[in-house]
Structure 1
Amino acid sequence: MSTATPIVRVQDVSKRFVLHKEKSLKERVLSAGRNNAFREDFWALRNIGLEIDSGSTVGLIGPNGSGKSTLLKTIGGIIQPTSGSVVRRGRMAALLELGAGFHADLTGRENVYLNASILGLSRTQTDRYFDDIVEFSGIAEFIDTQVKFYSSGMYVRLAFAVAVHVDPDLLLVDEVLAVGDEAFQKKCLDKIASFQKEGRTIVLVTHTLNQITDLCSRALVLARGSVVFDGDPTDAVSVLRSGFQTTIAADEENARRTEPEPEPAPAFDIARVESIVVAGDRDDKSGQVVVQPDRPLTIDVTVDARTQLDEWGIGVHVDNPFGQVVVGTHSDLVKTPIPSFVGKKTVRFTFSDVRLGGGEYRVTSAVFGRGSQELHRITDGATFTVRPTATSYGPIGAAAAIQF
C-alpha cells in the first residue's frame, strides 16, 4: 500500500452527456417539451474511483471514445461530473485541447498574460517568467502577432511554455504534444522528465504507447467509460494491444444473444474468400490461436470460385487492435505464377522474420478479378495472439540482451 499523499482523489465519478437526435432545427423546435424520443443518454464515465499519489506520472490510454479526455477534464475541473466528486490539491496546469485558454484576437504576448492569470499567476509573476516562456516556445518573432494566425504547432509551443513555467504541482497533458515538431516534442519530454525529478505529478493522455512505458510509473486502460486495468505501464500496454476482449466479452455476448440472427450472405457471382486460417497453437482456455514471435507467420486463405478464374489475384494483411496494418502482401508483389481454377483453392501466405510484439491481431483478405477489381473481402476473418517475449516489450518482438 502506497504511503504517498494523494494529490487527486476521484470518488465514484460518472459523467453523462445528452445526445440529441434531431436532424434539423425544425425537428428540434417541434420536439421541445415532448418526450425523450429525440434524446439519448451517453455515459462517458461510469463509477470511476482512483487516487493519484503526489510525485507519480500516470498515463491514461484506451481506444477513441473510451473516456480518457473526459476523465482528464473532470480531474482538471473543466467538466463537472454528473455524480461523484473530485478532490484536488496544489497548483494545476493543464494542456487539455488545442488553443484552450487562448483568445484568437489577442497577440501571443497578451495571451501569455491571459493564460498565466487563468493558471493562477499574478502579473508580476508573469513578468518574471515572460522571457523564459518566450524562449522556451521558440516563437519570439511571432509573439506580437494575433494567435489566430498561428499554426497548430505554434499554439502548442506557447501553451506548453506557459503551463510548465507556472510552477505546477499537477500537470495534465492531453495528446497535444503530438502536434509539435520532433525537436519541440523532445524539449517537452525533457521538461516532463525534469518535473519528475522535482517530484511533480503528471497525468498524461496519449496514443503514443512508448511514452506510457518510458515516462509513466502507472497506467490506466479505459474502455466504454470504465477502468479495465490499473497498474504497471508495460502490462497496461499489453492489455490495450490485446484488445482487452476478455474484460468486456460478457457484455458483448449478452448483447449478441438479444440480437436477431443475421440474414444469409447474398450468393456470389464470381468468387469469394471462404475462410482464413492462421497456423499456430490453440490456447485451451480462450480457444485463441497463439503464434510464437520467433516463428514464421502462416496464413491459409481458401477461395471459392463459381466460374473459372483466369486473371485473378489475392491479398492479405494483418492489423493490430487500432486498425493499423502491421504487415501485408498481395500476389502482384510476390512474383509467383497464379494458376487458373474453378471451385475451391487454398492459398498459403508465409511471412518470415515478422517478430510481432505481444498482443492480439486480426487478419483481412480479399480476392481480385480482371483489372484488379475486388470481387470479395473478409475483414477481420481470423484473429490470433502473440505472446510477448520475456526480455522485451513493444510492437516488435525481440530477444534482448544487455552487456556491461
Structure 2
Amino acid sequence: MSRPVRGRLAPWLLAGFGLALAGAAVVWHLGLETQRIGQLGGPVLALALDGLLPLVLVYGSYRLVSASMPGEQIWTVFVWSAVGSVAVGAIIGLSVLVRSMEGRTVAEPVFVTLLAMDTGAVTGLVAGALAVRAHQDASRATRTANTLSFVNDLLRHDIANGLVVIDGRAAILKRNADSETVQTAADAISEQVTELDTLVDNAGAVAETLGSDPAFEPTDIVPIAETVIQRVEQTHTVAIALQAPDSATAYANEAARPVLRNLLENAVEHGTPTAELSAGGTQTDGSALQGDAQRTDATQPAAGASDRPSVLVAIREGEDVVEVHVVDDGGGIPDARRDSIFDPRAGDTHGGGLHLVETLVTSFGGDISLADGAGRADTDFPDTDLGGAHFVVELPRA
C-alpha cells in the first residue's frame, strides 16, 4: 500500500478497528451469551466494559483528524493500536489455552480476551500518539537547531567581513590623521574591532560547545585568564590580581574565554572600585589598571591584606582537574539566592551570565560551585577569602 493511500485510509482504519472490536462484543454478549445463560443483566454489564472501551479508538480517530495530524502519522497510531490489541489479546488467549490444556475450568474466557484486546488497543492508541508527538518534537528541535546554526554561521561571517572593512578604514584614518585626537580615535576603533572579532570567535566556540558533537582539546587556561583580565581592566576601574602557575591545561576550547569573562565581570560588578579603595588607603597607585594583571606565583601568598585586590583569579592544577577560583570583596551571595544562583533569570534573553557559565562548564565535563561562604579558608590559596562571592570552576585536566 502506497503512503498516500494509507495516509487517506488511516483515520478510517483506526475508527473501523474500534467499531470492529465493539461489534464483536455486541455479537458475543447480546447474541450468543444471552441465549446461552438465559438472562440479559450480566451480558449488558460486560458489554459496558468491552463494548464501550473500543469506541475510544473512534473518538481518537476523530480527534487526530481534527488536530490536522498528517495521515501518515495517523497510520502510525493505527499500527500501534492494532499491535497493542493483538499482543495483549494473544498473551491472554495463550494463558487461557494453557489452562484449558491443563484441564482447568476458565471462567468467561471470551470476555476476558475481548477486554484484554480492547485494553491493548487503547494503550496502543495512547502510546502511538505519544510516539508521534515525540517524533514531531524531535524533528522540530532538529530543524530549529539547524536553523540557528545556519543563522549563527551567517551572522558571524557577515559581522567578520564588516569588521575587516571597519578595521581597514581605521588603518587609513590613522595613516592620514592630522591630529592626535583623530589618531587616538582610530586606535580606539582598531581595539574595538579586535574585541568584537574575539567575541565573534567566542560565539562560535559557544555554539560548538553546546552542539551535539563538541570537540575539546588541551587548552591552557592561564593565558586565557590573562587576556580576559586585561580586557576587563581596560573598561572597569577595579583592581584585579591573578594567582596562577605558568600553565594549567584542561580539556576545553575557546568557550573557556566567555566562562572566565562572565565570572570576572560578575565579580567586578560586585567588587570595590579603585577610586573607593584609594579613599580608604588600601590601593593608591592603580597599578592593576595599567594593562597586565597583578601576577603572583601560585605557591606564594599574595601581598598583605592592606594591598589585596578587589577581585582575585586563582588557578591551580589538581590531580584530575584544573581549578579556577574567582573571588571578589563585595557583599557575597545572600543565603536565599545560593541555591538558585545558576538558574536562568526571568526576562533575561540569554538566561543570565552565570547560567551560561554553568552550561558551558557542564558541557566541558566540569563543575562549578560556590564556596561554602564568606570566611572559607583555603590552605593552598590563603588570600582567596576577600569576604565576597567565591566561585570555583573545576575543568577536566588534560
Q: TM tier, shorter chain? A: under 0.3
Q: Which has the larger radius of gyration?
A: 2
TM-score (norm. length: structure 2) = 0.23
TM-score (norm. length: structure 1) = 0.23
* Higher helix fraction (1 or 2): 2
* Higher strand fraction (1 or 2): 1
Structure with more relative contact order (C-alpha pairs < 8 Å, separation 6 or more): 1
